[in-house]
Amino acid sequence: MSAVPSLDAPDRRARRRRTPGSQAPGPLASQIGLWVLLACAAVLALAGLFPGLLAPGDPLAVDPAQAFQAPGWSHPFGTDESGRNVFTRVVHGAGPSLFIGVAATVLGVGLGAVLGLLTGLGRRWLDAAGSRLIDAMLAFPTLLLALLLIAVRGPGVAGVVVAVGLSSAPGYARLLRAEVRRVSRSGHVEAARMLGHSPLRIVVRHVLPGALGPLLAVATLGLGQAIVWSSALGYLGLGAPPPAPEWGAMLNAGRTYVTSAWWMTVFPGLAIVAVGVVATLLGRRLSAHLAGRSAGG
Amino acid sequence: MAEDPVVSARNLRVCFGDVAAVRGVDLVLPRGRAVALVGESGSGKSVTARALIGLTGGVVTADELRIAGHDVAGLGERGSRAERAWRRIRGRVVGTVLQDALGSLDPLRRVGAEVADAARLAGTAVDVPALLESVGLDPAAARRRPDELSGGMRQRALIAAALAADPEVVVADEPTTALDTTRQAVVLDLLRARVDAGGSLLFITHDLGAARRVADDVVILDAGRVVETGPFRTVMADPASTEGRRLVASVPWGRPRGEALLPDAAARLPGDARPGTVATQGNAPAPATPAVSVGGAVPGPASSYRSDLAPQEPERRGLDAPREASPLLSARGVVVRYGGTSEPAVRGADLTLRAGRTVGLVGESGSGKSTLLRALAGLLPVESGDVLLRGEPWSALPERRRRARRRQLAMIVQDPLGSFEPRWDVGQVLTDALGRRDPRRVADLLESVHLDPTAAHARPRTLSGGQRQRVAIARALAVEPAVLLADEPVSALDASVQAQVLDLLDELQAQRGLGIVLVSHDLGVVRHSSDDIVVLQNGLVVESGPTEDVLSHPTHPFTRELIDAAPRLD
């Protein structure tokens, strides 16, 4: 008997969504926005990985005769107090800034994932202990932690990475714990239990994939935050030492001349803003995409 | 009748873009009567009702559309002038009750304020406590917020808000679909009482059993067109249209155990096969023309209804196990308590399930029937008592040892979509249940639940409710279980889809000798599909035994209440 219900029948929800006057941006505008966003991300990644392609010069090359030049043809972002090319330095600064941001995020997500899984899946005492540890970490100020690490180890990139990573970890841990608990209670996990699947298989095939999606989206948001934080630490002189082209340190160096040579602070500042905005928008897109998928879009 | 009808619509059409949801509906609601607008999901019944309050969100056209003397045919829905005109109609001329009472009431406001507001906006005064009392609510409920009320109380509060401005006509759009049958009966009786007192009611539903309780007349919609109309009882006794016959046949109450509700349904899978939008259905069936002539072989829809509760000879089917064989599943004095609560959710339940038979668990929401089912499934710990699987310990085993025997049981739930891994398509869901990659077997499973094998590539969320439940049943069959635990498997489905799923369960039971535990709040469903019945109230078994024995001689008042509330046509 070939009783074939048509499978392309949209469900009721999909039909309702097609009513006129929905506020979502049109698909075309949304597509263009996505491509612009991806292009910006590509440029930033290129600057981080191969700065020489965009700015062939040497970011450390000093030329006192050319000090404090306003932006012009030979140096689009101007020069600093030692005559170094600000454009070259901003491009070369992408590497250290992005590296610190990515490394800190990886550290934070990794640590947060371990804590989140332990508290989300573990027995009650483990959850209680882990959750209190997460609370304590959340309560500890980032800056103080960074100062502590630098006081112990001296200034440097490693201290910034560890400080920012440790500070962001509890947020990820809480998110993952909540996601793990949500998925564990869901109908499809109960269905998997009814099929006689082992707890390990259920965690690997249902709980983790379901819970990691939202974590990934939030981590992309967090990447921008981590870069801003590490720049802030660099600005305070707690990151890479002065001659290195690091955006936060460049802001700090330009601070003295902000009235006479605005370009020394504006361009590194804009770079920080650009990275933050791109990472945030990408993260939002990702989480909206994931939410739409699990809501049955 | 000389008096003007309170609502009259001629050639009403509603379009969403190029999709026509309502395609020329004529509707007359005489003053002081209740008209049921009946049809399946997508038949255009809700959109028709919304056209009466200017809230379709689409483009409405009509040759005539008059509501209590107001001509609203050319009004449109956009623009401030139309909005002002509609505001005069909504509330004071047309009161509306929607299905989702929780969504329709402001969660932050007290019920009394909400009800009083409805009157204030219409510019009339209202005595809130008296109004609440008239809908059967304690006047003290006025000081409570919606989340402090039960579903039935919320629905009554919503009716009170709809009645606050004393509208000329009440439009109730599936007002009881979210309620169990006993609460549904209370709400329906309330709506009927208003009609008896001179009000007019337009009642939208997919369930003829619910319509019977309130309606004088019925209008049956299919694919945006009226296919049948007339006095309710006349139409029910002898429906002329295919759609009418199908809806009548879908009401399970009083149909003998084992008889297919929709015998010809497997051939065409109506409802399920219905295209998602009516516009795609180019050749709609001609109204009021029977597509299949129903002869003697197929039970005439109305003639075979049993109006009495006389015991029926339970049909003995192929794989029925002898009585003396050890039961598949048995429960003795099962007590289940949720952590931290003082009152157990189930307080000592007994139950015996044999191969090829069905035990129906019936009760109101909160009676503990789903809890008992989960305890039988070994998903909830049993505080005292025992569940035995094939005479061996089951509830007493640690989960580690239970796991190896889990595949003797399978479960289907009310919300099949939530029970599927959201990242998987149907094929992956079934492959996971099989435990091995076997596309042939997946196709066989889909075939056995009357789904096309191409459904394996579909995402569950793109399927209709009935198709999803079929996939859930296919997954249950994949483990070749001896016992199928079904938790409200049809209560979220349209009436005719519900009938198809019940038929499917019957068919699979006959083929495979499944023992089924069927949980439902609807006694009609349980009566049609169960050999034995267990009636639960507040966690206690108040009555149990062979279904027809219990129903023909109910000893407990609650059983009598359930019998009275069951949706039926007689």
Residue extents of the structural domains in chain B: 345-565
Q: Where are the alpha helices (H) located in A22-61, listed in sequence order?
A: 27-49, 51-54
Task: Choose the closest CB to A6 out of B275, B411, B423.
Answer: B275
Please give the mean pLDDT across all residues of chain B.
Answer: 84
Closest Cα in chain B to A8? B462
Phi-psi region of B558 (alpha: psi -120 to 50; beta: other; left: phi over 0): alpha
Yes or no, beta carbons of B276 and A10 under 8 Å apart: yes
Specify the pLDDT at position B340.
73
Specify the pLDDT at position B334.
94
A59 located within any domain: no
Yes or no, beta carbons of B432 and A9 under 8 Å apart: no
Please give the helix or strand (H or E) that residue A102 lies within, else none: helix A86-121
Q: How many domains does chain A have?
A: 1
The pLDDT of residue A75 is above 60: yes
Yes or no, beta carbons of A187 and B452 under 8 Å apart: no
Looking at this protein, which amino acid is placed at residue B149? Answer: L
A54 located within any domain: no
Question: In which band, very low, low, confident or very high, does the pLDDT at A294 lie, cut at 50, 70 and 90?
Answer: low
Q: Are B261 and B503 in contact (CB under 8 A)?
A: yes
A–B CB contacts, 8 A cutoff, strictly below = 117
Q: How far is B274 from chain A (nearest CA, A)?
A: 7
Question: In which band, very low, low, confident or very high, does the pLDDT at B336 lie, cut at 50, 70 and 90?
Answer: very high
Q: Count other C-beta atoms under 10 Å from residue A65's C-beta.
A: 7
A41 located within any domain: no
The pLDDT of residue B105 is above 60: yes
Looking at this protein, which amino acid is placed at residue B102? Answer: L
Q: What is the mean pLDDT of residues B508-513?
A: 92
* Top-confidence residue, A35 or B296: A35
Strand, helix or coil for residue B29: strand
Q: Are A248 and A235 in contact (CB under 8 A)?
A: yes
Please give the helix or strand (H or E) that residue B19 lies within, else none: strand B19-29
A38 located within any domain: no
Most confidently predicted of A267-276, B311-320, B473-482: B473-482
Task: Choose the closest CB to A15 out of B276, B423, B433.
Answer: B276
Instruction: Read off the CATH number of the domain in which A159 is found.
Output: 1.10.3720.10
Yes or no, beta carbons of A196 and B479 under 8 Å apart: yes
What is the residue whose two structure tokens read 């089951």?
B394
The pLDDT of residue B311 is above 80: no
Q: What is the mean pLDDT of residues B508-516?
A: 93
Residue B5 is given by DSSP the state: P
Yes or no, beta carbons of A5 and B269 under 8 Å apart: yes
List Cα–Cα distances, A267 to A233, A255, A271, in angstroms. 18, 12, 6
Yes or no, beta carbons of A191 and B463 under 8 Å apart: no
Q: From edge to edge, which strands make up the β-sheet containing B94-97?
A: B94-97, B169-173, B200-205, B34-38, B217-222, B225-231
Specify the pLDDT at position B475.
95
What global pTM score does this model have? 0.78
C-alpha B462/C-alpha B456 separation (Å) is: 12
Specify the pLDDT at position A155.
75
Task: Choose the closest CB to A194 out of B277, B377, B423.
Answer: B377
Yes or no, beta carbons of B273 and A205 under 8 Å apart: no
Question: Which of A39-53, A102-116, B543-557 is least confident?
Answer: A39-53
By residue range, what is the domain housing residue A120? 78-294
What is the residue whose two structure tokens read 């409710």?
B465
Yes or no, beta carbons of A8 and B276 under 8 Å apart: yes
Question: In which band, very low, low, confident or very high, does the pLDDT at B300 lie, cut at 50, 70 and 90?
Answer: very low
| CA–centroid distance for A20 within its chain | 36
Strands B200-205 and B34-38: parallel
CATH number at B345-565: 3.40.50.300
Closest Cα in chain B to A6? B273
Question: In which band, very low, low, confident or very high, does the pLDDT at B195 lie, cut at 50, 70 and 90?
Answer: very high
Task: Choose the closest CB to A11 out of B451, B454, B462.
Answer: B462
Radius of gyration of chain A (CA): 24
Tokens at residue B459, please? 């995402």
Mind listing the pLDDT tens digit for each residue in A3-35? 434 333 333 334 344 444 444 556 777 888 889
C-alpha B329/C-alpha B334 separation (Å) is: 13
Yes or no, beta carbons of A4 and B267 under 8 Å apart: no
Residues of B whose CB is below 8 A from A19? 16, 57-58
Closest Cα in chain B to A1? B267
A98 located within any domain: yes
C-alpha B134/C-alpha B183 separation (Å) is: 16
Question: In which band, very low, low, confident or very high, does the pLDDT at B534 lie, cut at 50, 70 and 90?
Answer: very high
Q: How far is A40 from chain B (nearest CA, A)?
A: 30
Yes or no, beta carbons of B421 and A1 under 8 Å apart: no
Mind listing the pLDDT tens digit for each residue in A151-193? 887 777 888 888 889 989 999 999 999 999 999 889 999 999 9
Q: Are A276 and A227 in contact (CB under 8 A)?
A: yes
**ipTM, 2 dp:** 0.76
Q: Are B159 and B135 in contact (CB under 8 A)?
A: yes
